[in-house]
Structure formats: C-alpha cells, structure tokens
C-alpha cells in the first residue's frame, strides 16, 4: 500500500509502481477545471509585481466579500482578468472591487469598477475550457503609478516566446490540491517555462484551442484559487504579459501544465476597448 495523502499526489512521478495503474491520469486528464493558483512558489517581494491585482467579489446572499480571482493592471484605468472570474450572466459593477499594490489580501482600500466587458466569444456554458476566457474591467478612475502600482506592457505583435522561455506567474491561490495558501497569505510567485503547443495538446487533447497556451514544469505551476492572474515574460528587457491564468488539471498533477489565455491572440479586442473608451 501507498499511505500518501491525496494532496501529495501532485508531487509524484506518474510511473511510480505503487500507483499500480489505479489512477489513470496519463490517459485521461479529465476536462480540466478553472480557478487556479500557485504550486511550489515562494513569497513575492513588495513592489516586484506591481501590476498584480486581486478581484474581490460580493456574495449577494450574505453580502460578504471574498478574494475570488487575480488580474493585472494593463493601463491606468483597465484591468485584464479571466472571463470566468466574472460572476453571473449579467454581472453588476457593484459586485466587484479591485485590490491594487498589496502583497496580502486587503479589501479595505479596494477600488470600484465602472465597466465589465467579457469577451463576446466566451461561453458561460463551456466556461474556461470553451476559450475566449478574458475580460476587461474599467476602473472608476485612473490610478496613479507608484513603486507598488504600475501597469504591465502587452506583448508587441512581433514578439515571440518559444517553448522553454522562462516566465513567471503570481497569485494567492492554493499551493497544492485542497491545500489553501496559509496565513498571512503573501502573494506567491513561481517561474514556469512555456510548453510546446504539441505537448499541451497531447496532454489535454482537443480542449486546447488557438487562443490558449501552456506553461509549467514538474511540480511547479498552478492549482485552484487564482484565475485571471498574469503570466509574464521578459521581451527585450521589459516585462510583458503573455498569458492570463485560465484552467488546468483537476487534481493539480505535477506533469500537467497550466493553461492560459494567450494575450497576443486578444490584442485587437483589448486595444480596441481601451482606445475607444470615453
């Protein structure tokens, strides 16, 4: 017998004989699930990722706020996040607030949202796995840049990030399957490589679409708790946002990469809204 707690499974090499083939994770990863956070990361330093934001969502039943997702500041007045982070069919702006410039969850000084724009091709029925898992939030007022708050560049159309490119993902999500980030819940960071499209398709099958990319390595990547956060890579000595945390393997198994919305794919849509907004 293998007396291993379930939350440790993500650390195992799948060929370990003690699994006895009883966990068929290699042949069928399942449909995957959304809301992902950081595995095998470590505490981020203050001001290192100044574009990281937290999305606080209100529970309409008990009127309590909770940190529901991550996001990124991409403009003084605009936040990029995952479409599945936006609750409800007809979301209300007062249901969401945005936390800026904080390493730990903090609702008190969060800012109000003026507009919510989910991508028109996002499907509420298929959720993240259906693709187009991006949304924009317009803040009520532009934010002032500081050492702790700054927007991230979007990737130039000419940019390319080949497999193996070392990038970083950040968030407040679970650190393992069914294992929440412990207090004081400091923002986590982890370095992940871009994964070849063919490998990603081989592991997840036809769920992988042109508007998605994969990143992650053995024992490092994403799990439940912080969709919408940024995957950032260096391009000509500047940080740019390459992906939006979207979905992944149901049990956060270590050999399955995280799946991200491919920011470059959505550039025309993002820039169209930012530049045309009154």
**3-state class of 13 per DSSP?**
coil
Q: Hey, what are 272's tokens?
A: 């169209």
> Alpha-carbon distance 223 to 220, whole Å?
10
> Alpha-carbon distance 111 to 26, whole Å?
44
Helices and strands counted in the chain (H then E): 2, 16
Q: Which parts of the chain are beta strand (E)? A: 33-34, 36-39, 42-43, 52-58, 65-75, 78-81, 96-100, 111-118, 135-139, 166-171, 188-195, 212-215, 221-224, 230-235, 238-248, 258-262
Backbone angles phi, psi at 195, to 5 degrees: -105, 140
Catalytic residue among 119, 174, 226, 227: 227
Is 133 tagged catalytic? yes
> Alpha-carbon distance 72 to 131, whole Å?
19
> Alpha-carbon distance 230 to 130, whole Å?
19
Q: Are residues 117 and 52 in contact, defined by beta-carbon separation less than 8 angstroms? A: no
The DSSP call for residue 153 is B
Catalytic residue among 72, 84, 211, 246: 84
**3-state class of 46 per DSSP?**
coil
Is 119 tagged catalytic? no
Is 227 tagged catalytic? yes
Catalytic residue among 72, 133, 226, 246: 133
Nearest to 192 by CA among 232, 226, 153, 247: 232
For the annotated catalytic residues, the residue numbers are 84, 133, 227
């Amino acid at each position: 017998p293998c007396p291993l707690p379930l939350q440790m499974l993500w650390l195992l090499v799948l060929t370990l004989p003690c699994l006895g083939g009883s966990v068929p994770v290699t042949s069928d990863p399942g449909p995957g699930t959304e809301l992902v956070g950081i595995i095998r990361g470590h505490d981020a330093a203050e001001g290192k990722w100044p574009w990281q934001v937290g999305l606080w969502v209100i529970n309409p039943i008990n009127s309590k706020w909770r940190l529901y997702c991550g996001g990124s500041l991409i403009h003084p007045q605009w936040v990029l996040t995952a479409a599945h982070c936006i609750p409800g069919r007809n979301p209300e702006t007062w249901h969401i607030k945005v936390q800026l410039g904080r390493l730990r969850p903090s609702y008190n000084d969060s800012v109000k949202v003026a507009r919510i724009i989910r991508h028109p091709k996002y499907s509420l029925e298929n959720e993240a796995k259906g693709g187009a898992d991006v949304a924009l939030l317009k803040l009520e007022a532009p934010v002032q840049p500081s050492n702790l708050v700054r927007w991230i560049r979007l990737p130039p159309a000419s940019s390319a990030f080949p497999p193996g490119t070392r990038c970083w993902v950040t968030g407040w999500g679970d650190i393992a399957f069914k294992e929440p980030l412990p207090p004081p819940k400091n923002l986590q960071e982890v370095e992940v490589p871009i994964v070849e499209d063919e490998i990603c398709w081989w592991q997840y099958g036809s769920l992988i679409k042109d508007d998605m990319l994969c990143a992650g390595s053995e024992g490092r990547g994403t799990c439940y708790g912080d969709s919408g956060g940024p995957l950032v890579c260096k391009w000509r000595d500047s940080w740019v946002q390459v992906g939006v945390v979207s979905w992944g393997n149901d049990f956060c198994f270590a050999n399955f990469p995280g799946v991200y919305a491919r920011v470059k794919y959505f550039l025309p849509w993002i820039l169209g809204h930012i530049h045309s907004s009154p």
